[in-house]
Each structure stands twice: as structure tokens, then as C-alpha cells.
Amino acid sequence: MNPRISDWAGKRVWVIGASTGIGQACAHLLVDLGARVAFSARSIDKLLATTSGTPRALVAPLDVTDRDSVGAAGEKIVAEWGGIDLVLVVAGGYNEMRADSFDLAAANSMIDLNLRGVFNCLDVVLPVLLRQGAGGIGIVSSVAGYGGLPKALVYGPTKAALINLTESLYLDLHPKGIGVYQINPGFVETPLTAGNDFKMPALMKPEDAALEMVTGIEKGQFHIHFPKRFTNGLRFARLLPYRLYFWMIHKVTGL
């Protein structure tokens, strides 16, 4: 569904959310494969620490909730490289929330980070890709976007919105020669999942998740999801009648 990538040598890749977790692992994997990689995140200290001694790394700090910040980083990258071959928007946050503990301020903060932050990135990146008539954009959503889950009262809807967004982007950008990648990880060992107090089936290492992401992009896949023994179960559950879906989620999570 997207052009295949057989060689990363010299590719210009911008990873937004590269200071920890999947983003960091993916950025370093791409460097190892020969790509030029721009590492972006809020913490300049973390970015400098993770890129120390890393060849072909460009540090471009930003805050995805601040459009001007994203714009400044994008201008720096394009000025340095002359263009961008792939943008990976990995930045996001998780805040456990249920209906009996609803917090509007926390909800709005998560929406700003997980959803409006992505639109800030699109506002900067889309003109570059459209002007080039080439390149691609990958957005990391989550399997939590497939259907409603306990403790994901706000997180889940933001990720469901990103799934819808990537589908719309594909319809608009594919005819123009621009790749779109919808990336839905299951549970990955990151700072976001470290505080979870429930069972996380098929928990993955960030390095394994990064390899799945990069392999899917190389193959030109639109829908990249992993680990499939877990994600395919959730995809199947979404096809069930609601009575069975709710029963299954309760049975699996105990919530």
C-alpha cells in the first residue's frame, strides 16, 4: 500500500518523541541502518544524552503541544537536509482514567498531547511532503484505539482518532505519492507503561517494537500492528456484538 524501502542509507528521517521508549529505540535502529535521523522531544538534556556519539544524528528539540516549537524544529531540519523522507510521530502520553475519577484538566492535557500535538506536526510536515511529492509519515496510535477499554477513558479516544486520521491521510496522500503508516503497538516496556497495575499481555521490549515498526515500513505496509498474537485478538474482538465484546474485555482484564 506504500512504496517499499530496501535501503535506509542516506534517508532523512525525523523521529518526534525520540528521547525514550519506542521512539528512541526506533531512531537508533534507523541510524544503525544508515539513515540520517533528527531526534526530537521536549527534553534537550535527554536528547543530547541519547545522541552522544551517535553518527548522522541531528538534535531538534520541540514541544508537540506548541506549534511554533514544532515549526522551528522543522525549519532547522529542512535547512540542514533540504527535505525529509520520513516523519515518525511517536510522541504521546498516557493518564489512567475511569468514569468515577474523571478529571477534565487531565483529559484536556492528554488531548493536547496525543491529538492536537499530532495536528501541530501535520501543519509543519504536510507542506514539505506535498512540495516534494514524495516521502512518508507514520503516526503511532495504539491498540487501545481499536475499541473501548477500562482505564482508557481519554487515552483510548485520542488513539481511536489517530486511527481515523491516518485512514483519511492515506486517502488524500497516497495518490500524490506520499506514504502513510498507521502504527498500533500493544504493550511495550516504556515509561508510559511502567506504572500500570494490571496484567499486560505480550509485553514487548522497545527494541523489538522498533524492529516491527521499521520492518513494516520497509514492506510498505499501511497498518503496522504488533505483537500480532495480541493485536489480532483485539481486532477480532472488535467484530463481535457488543454483549460479547464487553464480556470478553471484562474476562481478559478483570476490570
pLDDT tens-digit profile of 9-38? 999 999 999 999 999 999 999 999 999 999
**Nearest-angstrom CA–CA distance, 46 and 27:** 14
Residue 130, pLDDT above cutoff 70: yes
Strand bridging mode 223-226 / 86-89:
unpaired
What is the reported pLDDT for 253? Answer: 83
Residue 199, pLDDT above cutoff 80: no
Q: Closest by alpha carbon to 25, among 4, 54, 2? A: 54
**pLDDT tens digits along 5-15:** 999 999 999 99
Q: Which one has a higher pLDDT value, 178 or 198? A: 178
**Burial status of residue 209 (CB atoms within 10 A of its CB: 0-12, 13-18, 19 or more):** buried
**pLDDT tens digits along 226-246:** 999 999 999 999 999 999 999
Sign of CA dihedral 142, 147, 150, 151: positive
DSSP state of 19: S
**Residues annotated catalytic, as ranges:** 155
Using the CB atoms, write b or e for 115-147: b if 16+ within 10 Å.
bebbebbbebbbebbeeeeebbbbbbbbbbbbb
Domains of the chain listed by start with CATH number: 12-253 (3.40.50.720)
Q: For residue 56, which phi and psi values (nearest 5 degrees)?
A: 60, 25
Per-residue pLDDT averaged across 166-190, rounded?
Answer: 94
On average, the pLDDT of the chain sits at: 94
What is the reported pLDDT for 187? Answer: 82
Radius of gyration of the CA atoms of the chain, in A: 18
Q: Closest by alpha carbon to 225, among 244, 202, 245? A: 202
**pLDDT tens digits along 69-99:** 999 999 999 999 999 999 999 999 999 999 9
Q: pTM of the entire structure?
A: 0.94
Where are the strands (E) in 28-112, listed by range?
A: 36-40, 57-59, 86-89
Residue 67, pLDDT above cutoff 60: yes
